[in-house]
Amino acid sequence: MSAIIDKLAAIVGERGLITDPQGKHPYLTDWRENYLGAALAVVRPASTEEVAAVVKLCAAERVAIVPQGGNTGMAGGGTPDQSGREIVLSLNRMNRILEIDPIGYTMTVEAGVVLETIQEAAAQHDRLFPLSLAAQGSCTIGGNLSTNAGGVHVLHYGNARQLVLGLEVVTPAGEVWDGLRALKKDNTGYDLRDLYLGAEGTLGIITRAVLKLWPRPKDTATAWIAVPSPEAAVALLSGAHAASEDNVTSCELMSRQGIDLVLKHIPGSVDPLAERHDWYVLMEWGSTRPRRAGDNASGLAEKMEGYLGEALEAGQVLDAAIAQNEAQARAFWALRENHSESQKREGPSIKHDISVSVSRIPAFMSEGLAAMKRVLPECRPVPFGHVGDGNLHFNCQGPPGWDKARFMTHAHAISGAVYDLVVSHGGSISAEHGIGQLKVDELAHYRSQIELDTMRTIKRALDPQNLMNPGKIIRV
């Protein structure tokens, strides 16, 4: 084994190699601490050429590679197995922004750039990179593209797949595919770019990307809204598209259970409304049209206030607060963004990142809550998520005082009930987090034979030795 370590060191240097157990540890477990793997080494190349050389060496020595970005994935896709024979290939030293083209609305970056750094760089040029999620301070663009990440702006701008023009990829043979094109139109055969997006590192390693930029919103309105039911939330959103002149940029649904956990575990959290309610919507409108001083009617906040007033009369809204300044808007957002963290602090939970069509959300919600309770009456459902995309994090918190081992004995039955229901509504068992190692069995169970066969054929053709993140997404 030391022979391959020496060869890896010759490629990436001392700085690019971690072999001591303490140094490796953070790369061997996932954010949710569901998995703990082992690895021969953590390899941190500093350039595409180094990535290619590492992959070529691994192909020759038949060593499997687990690509990793910020390691914030929710499905264990970036965690190695327990054999200790795989390497983790971390992109975190490849963190340069290579070019910003404000005229053409593009940015070219290395795969290890942290998402928030990209957002800030775009803002400095009066542009917007709209991908936004609670892990943005540590997740990387390579991980975002490899999981086809969603987040809170999908309903207006699309998911990661829609935010990228070109890619550079190192193939499982260690060749470099230069698809780093900033083209809006390119109909030249099979779309290789789309193949690598969302592939969770099973087909190759994304090393660079050309991203799309948008004009930066100049006027934003953010409201914290109590609604009587998920049905009212969906109706409120439906009307908001026209009322905002198609400017709804986010629409998040939360339940009282989720808010109570945030208030309990995240210091400084404050409930924006005086009364307790069962359901909340966080809605944001954004426009590139600057707000004109002295012209109140032109502001989005005033338009939103008018719309929410009508909805209040119609019984779709019970109470609402519109943020008066940026700090207040950030406080509203913190209540949403701290959902995952507060559930982690509360104890064990089972996560279901599912989607159904938006109009099916109300029926799915009531049937799904009942289904979880039927399996384990003491469980605590905490549904929340991107209602504008039909994507719910239909999570289930363990009963108070239960440890993880005890709660997990019910995981299969609870998740089975949820996924069966999702499929009966024509939905998806993984909306934005991917399959990783978490849902390999579920994918095999719920997807059709022809889809699975086609995926396996692609995997075998591109990675015949099965060395690129083996055991993730699909077994070959």
Ligand X SMILES: Cc1cc2nc3c(=O)[nH]c(=O)nc-3n(C[C@H](O)[C@H](O)[C@H](O)COP(=O)(O)OP(=O)(O)OC[C@H]3O[C@@H](n4cnc5c(N)ncnc54)[C@H](O)[C@@H]3O)c2cc1C
By CB under 6 A, what part of segment 229-288 binds ligand X? Answer: none
d(CA 149, CA 126): 24
39: contact with ligand X by CB under 6 A: no
200: contact with ligand X by CB under 6 A: yes
415: contact with ligand X by CB under 6 A: no
By CB under 6 A, what part of segment 114-133 binds ligand X? Answer: 133
Least Å from the CB of residue 152 to ligand X: 6
Closest residue to ligand X, based on beta-carbon distance: 143
170 vs 235, beta carbon nearer ligand X: 170
Buried-state track 322-348, b at ≥16 Cβ within 10 A, e below 16: bbeeeeebebbbebbbbbbebbeebbb
Least Å from the CB of residue 2 to ligand X: 26
Residue of 12, 46, 149, 163 that binds ligand X (CB under 6 A)? 149
291 DSSP assignment:
P
Q: Where are the alpha helices (DSSP H) in 266-348?
A: 300-313, 326-337, 339-346
Least Å from the CB of residue 42 to ligand X: 12
469: contact with ligand X by CB under 6 A: yes
State which amino acid sits at residue 336: R
198: contact with ligand X by CB under 6 A: no
Got the DSSP string for 419-450?
Answer: HHHHHHTT-BS-SSS--TTTTHHHHHHHS-HH
Least Å from the CB of residue 88 to ligand X: 9
Contact track, ligand X, 419-458, x by CB under 6 A: -------------xx--x----------------------
71 vs 108, beta carbon nearer ligand X: 71
Contact track, ligand X, 360-399, x by CB under 6 A: ----------------------------------------
Three-class SS state of 418: helix
> Shortest CA distance to 225 belongs to which of 250, 246, 206, 207?
250
Helix (H) or strand (E) holding 28: helix 21-28
By CB under 6 A, what part of segment 50-109 binds ligand X? Answer: 66-74, 77-78, 91
137 vs 306, beta carbon nearer ligand X: 137
Least Å from the CB of residue 206 to ligand X: 4
Least Å from the CB of residue 91 to ligand X: 5
Least Å from the CB of residue 342 to ligand X: 10
284 vs 432, beta carbon nearer ligand X: 432
Query: What tokens does 128 get?
Result: 């917007």
CA-CA-CA-CA torsion sign (248, 250, 256, 259) = negative
d(CA 148, CA 364): 24
Crossing angle of helices 361-375 and 230-243, rounded to 10°: 160
Query: What tokens does 159 get?
Result: 């998911």
139 vs 233, beta carbon nearer ligand X: 139
146 vs 171, beta carbon nearer ligand X: 146
172: contact with ligand X by CB under 6 A: no
> Shortest CA distance to 8 belongs to which of 69, 67, 68, 53?
53
Count of all residues that appear for the chain in the document: 476
Which residues are registered as beta bridge partners of 101? 106
139: contact with ligand X by CB under 6 A: yes
Least Å from the CB of residue 341 to ligand X: 6
By CB under 6 A, what part of segment 323-352 binds ligand X? Answer: 340
Q: Where are the beta strands (DSSP E) in 242-363?
A: 248-255, 279-287, 319-322, 349-350, 353-355
Query: What tokens does 294 get?
Result: 């002295």
What lies within 8 Å, CB to CB, of 310 at 6+ separation is none
What lies within 8 Å, CB to CB, of 412 at 6+ separation is none
193 vs 433, beta carbon nearer ligand X: 433
Q: Which stretches of the chain bind ligand X, using CB under 6 A?
A: 31, 66-74, 77-78, 91, 111, 133-135, 139-140, 142-144, 146-147, 149-151, 200-201, 205-206, 340, 432-433, 436, 469, 472
